[in-house]
Amino acid sequence: MDSYVSGSVAPPLSQSHGAELGTLREAIAKLESVHDQKGTQLTGRIIHLCHYLPIVSSLQRAPPAPPSPPKTPPTEAVELSTPKASAASLPSDKKFQWHLTARRGHTAMHSGIRSLSATHKQVIVAYTGDIHAHRPSPPEIVGGGGAAPGVETISPDSLSAEEKKELEAQMADYSDPEWEKAGLENPITYVPVWLDDKTARGHYDGYCKTTLWPLFHYLLWQDVATEIQSHEAEFNAYSEANLKYAEKLFEVYQPGDLIWIQDYHLLLAPKYFRNLAPDAHIGLFVHTPFPSSEVFRCLPKRKEILDGMLGANLVCFQTYSYGRHFASSCIRVCGYESAMGGSGVDVSGQVVEIMHCPVGVDAGRVQIDCQRPGIKPKVDALRSLYQGKKIIIGRDKLDVVKGVVQKLKAFEKLLLDFPQWRGNVVLIQVTSPALTDSPKLERQVSELVAHINGEYGSLDFIPVHHYHQHIKKDEFYALLSVADLALITPLRDGMNTTSMEFVLCQQEVSKGAGQLAQDLQASARAPSPIVMSEFMGISNAMSGGALQINPWNLGDVAASIHRGLTMSDEEKWGRHRTLYEAVTTHTSHTWAAVLVKSLLEKINSENSAHQTPCLDRAKMGELYEKAKKRLFMFDYDGTLTPIVKTPSAATPSKGTLRALEKLSEDPKNVVYIISGRDGGFLDQHLGYLKRVGFSAEHGCFVKEPGHSGTGGEWTNLTKTFDMSWILEVKDIFEYYTERTPGSFIELKNASITWHYRASDPDWGSFQCKQCLDLLQTNLVPKRPIEVLVGKKNLEVRPIAINKGEIVKRLLYTNPDAEWVFCAGDDKTDEDMFRALCQLRPSVVESQEVIMQPPISASLTVSPSATPPKLEPVRLTISPDAVFSTAVGLPTKKTLAVWHEQSPRDIVHAMLELVGEGGESSHSTLPPKDGDALEAAIAAAAKEEAPATEEKPKL
């Protein structure tokens, strides 16, 4: 998580929130200024894609005209009084009228979004929620976009185009009352997403509530449903709804907007929107917990969900552990590779960063609400009612994961183990109705309450007071203010605002008159402690001050309650200081600012992959002729020769050898082959090319051009490295080789590879994922190594050596090169393209590039008492003359700038440069989609089958 604290000395507690927010806003402004100087397109606008709008829409329609009765004979005239028009009736010239009011729920999220209006224009794109039939008094709305029981709703399917258009117009002009109170500069624009009834119900009431929500809270479906759920139908509704969200977002999107997608309702939206806007800057924040990979893999559509989430540039969670679970799921379920030291996932060259940042509350607003005049009379009444008794407060939704049952059982355990509290402590438990009814849970809670009151109560004393209802804000804050202890016991929770609001209320009460003092010791009443579950998203941030418990351990919870009720004032103050600093530092405002800052830091980073156009051979040839010095860098397998089942059979074709010979004969050219192969293989098949340089084993060994041919001197760049880890990796690879028929181990001088090309594809892929997870989890954190997932292989190598380091070395030793060509086909070659990213126009901007000595350059210096000092060099190359080229489909995500579809195309392009190209291979491989294109590439590869009979005699 990004640190919110600037400097080594924390600001005063009462000022920390404002100071930190100011620091973050300055950092955001600085990042935007840097992007502006680089020419990066930014609109200064943030679009939030949320489940539902913070607006309740009520439709008032004119009543239908009564049917005309049949004519009756004339009678005596009777004077009738015309009824006066009701104040709520429609104007005579209108058929309908919309009424918009604020919606309750997700206060912290919307508070954070609203705070960004101080510096940015914003748009919220979201579902309308239930449309209500208008009535004079606004309905009570609960979270989730649904209506309270008894509220009449109108189906969106019944709305006319005119009614929808009018609502969209009114929402565009809607002014948030909270925004007006805050006096923020930029208004928020609201854009509704229209979903038909079937899709909306299948999306939220179906897949979200019966599949994803239970799973993310470590509940499987049999724990929350009475019958088997239809996952397929519900997932289709979920997918369709996410697609409609993405399409509506695309309607309002402008290149340069920052996109933040909120929560588990929209996990497929990042990928859907990425397909519409490939270069968009997308962040995804998951407010719920994220389960371990062993639980998540139970989800039938697990890969679809993960791939949807990985459409974002940045995925953020409430805690570090949730992010770690997500990364593990991506590795184990999808087989993707870990990146950025475990804080990212590599998806075909696109590195998706993972971070965590807990959501806070609007501390300033809560502190003001705590001083509302209606609270003090309620506090006095509660103190009078429970005079002489300790008061424990609990407030939760009546959901299985909120731990209400465990809380009641722990309270009973307290009365059993500590009998001195019988008659001297009361538990006031408020449970607001859940979004879905749970009669079984309600009955269980009611029976527990009755049991405890019957066992430990009397005629004049009731130990548990249970209120199953929504309570007003004044009543809620009065309970938090009067409490001697807060008891919060969720079994799993993404965010819990009650704990933070309790800390802020206790700060106000401890001052007596609601005035914040600089010296906390000036109060006569110490703030009350809090006992909270360790399974909450906010638990890490509050660990220093709260009494954290495992809600399943009833004895531990009871002991912690006893400790909190008997705690000394000095300890209460010490814990409260820590909690208050955490709550006023990690607020909803700083949370929103951190998200914006983090997404800005991802823009134009070297890890941002993209789709590429076909190599512009005409431009390449024109610049080639003008350059005085040229640098060629080729991968071998999959680039100069097709991938084959048996690695030893991948020998170079006649065309490949001819192209390398002609290129290396030109004194202006410096040609290198940078391969994962060992030096023996390269010597055997290409060693006679004396003017070609080689790098073997992904950069571990180097042989310079002008060598003496086969058996010439190789420089070992890993000579000083600790290579003892190879034996540990070999043991793991042998374990999987025994269990994967057709697989084998290739042991090189400085790396080790496990191949499964000849294995059953499905079983080999599964075993690769298992092996990768084992290496990433148990070995990578302890050893200086990295794991690479190649094409049907898994390789482990030293962390400081890779193909990218060799590219940097070649650029450093050839600073006068005016033209560069670099080609590769798999993930290991992305290191080469990443090294060349520093030469892109968006980075260079016609400024000279000063290159520092790379690690690989220093490793080539012979050990001596006084090694020569390596100095920075100035590169003379123009960014337009760098041709980084990926081999593969045009839709492949890569850090390269161009692409060619097959090794044959790469060889043909090189022959064209030396005047031997003949007919362009582009005409024989026209762009196609899907299987047809892959078949065409395979056919081209077959034409260039390895020509073992033409292997030169060495």
819 close to 630: Cβ distance less than 8 angstroms: yes
Place of tokens 């829409």: 57
Closest by CA position to 245, among listed 205, 290, 276, 214: 276
d(CA 660, CA 725): 36
d(CA 468, CA 723): 64
Laid out side by side, the sheet with 793-798 consists of 744-747, 752-755, 793-798, 785-790
| H/E element, 241 | helix 231-252
d(CA 560, CA 583): 22
635 is catalytic: yes
The DSSP 8-state label assigned to residue 211 in this structure reads: I
The DSSP 8-state label assigned to residue 798 in this structure reads: E
| Beta pairing partners, 344 | 339, 353
Closest by CA position to 443, among listed 404, 393, 416: 404
d(CA 949, CA 201): 66
**What are phi and psi for residue 797, nearest 5 degrees?**
-145, 170
| Beta pairing partners, 147 | 141
| φ/ψ bin of 187: left (φ > 0), alpha (ψ from -120 to 50), beta (otherwise) | beta
Question: What are the tokens at 295?
Answer: 């639980």
Active site residue: 130, 307, 362, 635, which one? Answer: 635
Q: Are strands 350-356 and 344-347 parallel, antiparallel or unpaired?
A: antiparallel
Q: Are strands 344-347 and 188-193 parallel, antiparallel or unpaired?
A: unpaired
User: Computed over its alpha carbons, how large is the radius of gyration of the chain?
Assistant: 34
Q: Which amino acid is at 378?
A: K
533 close to 548: Cβ distance less than 8 angstroms: yes
Place of tokens 């005016």: 818
CA angle (481, 487, 488) in 5-degree steps: 110
Per DSSP, the three-state class of 899 is: strand
Question: What are the tokens at 373?
Answer: 């005049």
The half-sphere exposure of 665 on its side-chain side, counting CA atoms within 13 A, is 9
Q: Which amino acid is at 539?
A: S
Per DSSP, the three-state class of 837 is: helix
640 close to 656: Cβ distance less than 8 angstroms: yes
Residues 6 or more apart in contact with residue 571 via CB below 8 angstroms: none
Residues 6 or more apart in contact with residue 21 via CB below 8 angstroms: 115, 587, 589, 590, 593
Q: Are strands 701-703 and 692-696 parallel, antiparallel or unpaired?
A: antiparallel
d(CA 854, CA 454): 76
Contacts of range 708-717, beta carbons closer than 8 Å, 24 or more positions apart: 709/954, 710/683, 710/684, 710/954, 711/683, 711/687, 712/683, 712/687, 714/679, 715/860, 716/749, 716/750, 717/750, 717/801, 717/856, 717/859, 717/860
d(CA 899, CA 887): 6
State the distance between the two ends of the chain, measured CA to CA, in whole angstroms: 57
d(CA 512, CA 894): 62
551 close to 407: Cβ distance less than 8 angstroms: yes
Question: What are the tokens at 842?
Answer: 């968006």
Q: How would you class 153 by CB atoms within 10 Å of its CB: exposed for 0-12, middle for 13-18, buried for 19 or more? A: middle
Which residue numbers are catalytic?
635
